[in-house]
Amino acid sequence: MELVGLTVDKFHSALKSGETTVEAVCKATFDRIEKLNPDLNVYLTVTKDSALERARQLDQQLAAGAELSPLFGVPTAIKDNICTKDVRTTCASKILDTFKPPYSATVVERLEAAGAVVVGKANCDEFAMGSSNENSAYGSVRNPWNLEHVPGGSSGGSAAAVAADLCIVALGSDTGGSVREPASFCGVTGLKPTYGRVSRYGLVAFGSSLDQVGPISKNAADSARVLGVIAGRDWHDSTSSEISVPDYLAALTGDIKGLKLGVPKEAFVEGLHPEVKARIQESIKNFESLGAEIVEVSLPHSEYAIADYYIIATAEASSNLARYDGVKYGFRDADAKTLQEMYKKTRDHGFGSEVKRRIMLGTYVLSSGYYDAYYLKAQKIRTILEQDFRKAFEACDLIVMPTAPVPPFKLGEKTDDPLAMYLADIYTVTINLVGVPGISIPSGFTSDGLPIGCQLIAPHFEEARLLQAADAYERSYPSNRYPNI
């Protein structure tokens, strides 16, 4: 069975016709991982034995007449900040190098209950902090389209695994763009659901008011399928919503005639790379030719989003990461003589520099004397940003804008300047602050053959509308290009 471009739909058709088996596709996936992972550095842990055993069980069930569950036999990659029972989960950090969670995240349990076969744990930026995947303690992931370029971050391993056909679907997490930006850089589809749509139980916390788990896949239909499985209330996460989960696959009608697509005038400003601008404008025209009505909207406070995000996200991170102190799990500095010394040395030796930088910034903005000026101010601006979106959605059904202001950049290009790296998140962070869902879909390539992503944004809990538009676009304007690896 050809793995390149293989989607769940095609895989399930081949299973039904007897053309392939779950075991055959899983084995072929592991062969491909063995061949390509040394170059791409996508997987930190590969779960070959358990996956092949499970594949054989699923084949037996199929032979005995079992119905195909939504993700039956689907080789799936899980970002390494999502807990998998008894399977090493490092968050790409030295501080959790040996951590084997005693439980699985709700999203993993739900995927497995729907038939998915976990093939491995995907590399990412340490604790999901980064936009290039260069902050992993286990080395950078390479972009399958050009090994000298970054795959985006923080779910760079998940996106590169999908792009390089080292799995069929993957889970990432998105705190400020970490599913959408790597999906854009790797030429695949990545969805950040509404805050509260998907349980965060077992997702290692970074910014708890922003984090969401989301699918990365080769088309919108597969993202719809995965979201339908992982979405919904979970008593382990009190912020998970009781709003019922619609049938996302049924929403993919291919028809978006009359859909009002809002283009924020603030999105096409200086700093936007000319090739990104050209592709997105082309995509907007394509939407129009599919029957969408293009309207101009305004998100007047967009320029404050990066500042706002890096206050709120780092404040929450500094608090969440206080738990890594060498006591309960992971690395402990063995030389320390006292408890206090043990905490400090464990954290200094266990965390990488970006994580420490964010803990420092977050601690500073929460510290006495600065709380009102930074953290409280940022929370108020968050309210203003949400009002911007509410107002914009009065005039349109979806918003369209670039996913990232630049195409995939070169490894090492931005590592010396943290602020320049933060600015790569300019189109994605607001969506997390406001809590609405967003998706990145392929929007063509640069003249150098690097992928560019187009972002669609919907009001809270309108993922069906988002996926419908993404799917309609992908059907009429399929990318049909694969990395040459």
Partner 1 sequence: MSITRQDVEKIAALANLALTEEEIQTFTVQLSSIVSYVEKMNELDTTDVEPMSHSTLSGDTSYTRREDDPKPSLGADLALSNAPDSGDGHFKVPKVIG
Q: Which residues are annotated as catalytic?
A: 79, 154, 178
Out of 435, 437, 442, 451, the only residue in the binding site for partner 1 (CB under 8 A) is: 435
> Please, what is the minimum distance in Å from the beta carbon of residue 363 to partner 1?
4
Binding pattern to partner 1, positions 359-378, x when CB under 8 A? xxx-xx--x------x-xxx
What strand order describes the sheet that includes 169-174? 43-46, 117-122, 75-79, 169-174, 212-217, 189-192, 438-445, 451-457, 398-402, 260-264, 293-297
Cα–Cα–Cα angle for 281, 285, 291, rounded to 5 degrees: 150
Out of 61, 103, 249, 482, the only residue in the binding site for partner 1 (CB under 8 A) is: 103
Rule CB under 8 A: is residue 379 a binding residue for partner 1?
Answer: yes
Rule CB under 8 A: is residue 5 a binding residue for partner 1?
Answer: no
Q: How far apart are CA 290 and CA 297, in angstroms?
A: 20
Rule CB under 8 A: is residue 328 a binding residue for partner 1?
Answer: yes
Q: How far apart are CA 275 and CA 69, in angstroms?
A: 41
Selection from 161, 167, 188, 170 nearest residue 42 by Cα: 161
Rule CB under 8 A: is residue 243 a binding residue for partner 1?
Answer: yes
Q: Which of residues 123-152 bind partner 1 (CB under 8 A)?
A: none
> Please, what is the minimum distance in Å from the beta carbon of residue 263 to partner 1?
24
Cα–Cα–Cα angle for 443, 92, 314, rounded to 5 degrees: 80
> CB under 8 A: which stretch of 23-31, 72-80, 179-187, 236-244 binds partner 1?
236-244
Give the residue with the Cβ less far from partner 1, 29 or 302. Answer: 302
Q: E strand or H helix at 400, and its extent?
A: strand 398-402
Q: What is the DSSP string of 77-120?
A: EEETTB-BTTB---TT-GGGTT---SS--HHHHHHHHTT-EEEE
Out of 329, 415, 475, 482, the only residue in the binding site for partner 1 (CB under 8 A) is: 329
Q: Which of residues 288-307 bind partner 1 (CB under 8 A)?
A: 301, 303-304, 306-307
Rule CB under 8 A: is residue 445 a binding residue for partner 1?
Answer: no
Rule CB under 8 A: is residue 244 a binding residue for partner 1?
Answer: no
For 178, the 3-state DSSP assignment is coil
Out of 129, 311, 399, 464, the only residue in the binding site for partner 1 (CB under 8 A) is: 311
249 contacts: CB under 8 Å, gap ≥ 6: 221, 224, 225, 228
Q: How far apart are CA 228 and CA 248, in angstroms?
A: 6
> Please, what is the minimum distance in Å from the beta carbon of residue 419 to partner 1?
6
Give the residue with the Cβ less far from partner 1, 32 or 358. Answer: 358
Q: Which of residues 105-124 bind partner 1 (CB under 8 A)?
A: none
Give the residue with the Cβ less far from partner 1, 266 or 275. Answer: 266
> Please, what is the minimum distance in Å from the beta carbon of residue 307 to partner 1?
4
Q: Which of residues 80-99 bind partner 1 (CB under 8 A)?
A: 98-99
Q: Which of residues 394-433 bind partner 1 (CB under 8 A)?
A: 418-419, 422, 433
Query: What values do phi and psi take at 428, rounded to 5?
Result: -110, -35
> Please, what is the minimum distance in Å from the beta carbon of residue 90 to partner 1?
12
Retrieve residue 381's tokens. Answer: 């601006």
Give the residue with the Cβ less far from partner 1, 31 or 348. Answer: 348
Query: 10 Å Cβ neighbour count for 279?
Result: 22
Q: Which amino acid type is present at position 149? A: H
C-beta separation of 165 from 32 below 8 A:
yes
Q: Which amino acid type is present at position 53? A: E
> Please, what is the minimum distance in Å from the beta carbon of residue 204 to partner 1?
13
Q: Which of residues 175-214 bind partner 1 (CB under 8 A)?
A: 195-196, 209
> CB under 8 A: which stretch of 140-148, 270-278, 283-291, 356-364 binds partner 1?
356-364
Q: How far apart are CA 68 and CA 324, in angstroms?
A: 42
> Please, what is the minimum distance in Å from the beta carbon of residue 465 to partner 1?
17
Out of 12, 54, 279, 382, the only residue in the binding site for partner 1 (CB under 8 A) is: 382
Q: Which of residues 456-475 bind partner 1 (CB under 8 A)?
A: 460
> Please, what is the minimum distance in Å from the beta carbon of residue 421 to partner 1?
11
Say which residue the tokens 């895989």 belong to.
Answer: 11
Out of 43, 343, 473, 477, the only residue in the binding site for partner 1 (CB under 8 A) is: 343
Rule CB under 8 A: is residue 27 a binding residue for partner 1?
Answer: no
Q: How far apart are CA 456 and CA 440, in angstroms?
A: 7
Q: How far apart are CA 190 and CA 248, in angstroms?
A: 15
Rule CB under 8 A: is residue 234 a binding residue for partner 1?
Answer: no
Rule CB under 8 A: is residue 338 a binding residue for partner 1?
Answer: yes
Q: How far apart are CA 453 and CA 443, in angstroms?
A: 5
Query: 10 Å Cβ neighbour count for 307?
Result: 15
Give the residue with the Cβ less far from partner 1, 277 or 301. Answer: 301
Out of 16, 35, 100, 323, the only residue in the binding site for partner 1 (CB under 8 A) is: 100
Rule CB under 8 A: is residue 242 a binding residue for partner 1?
Answer: yes
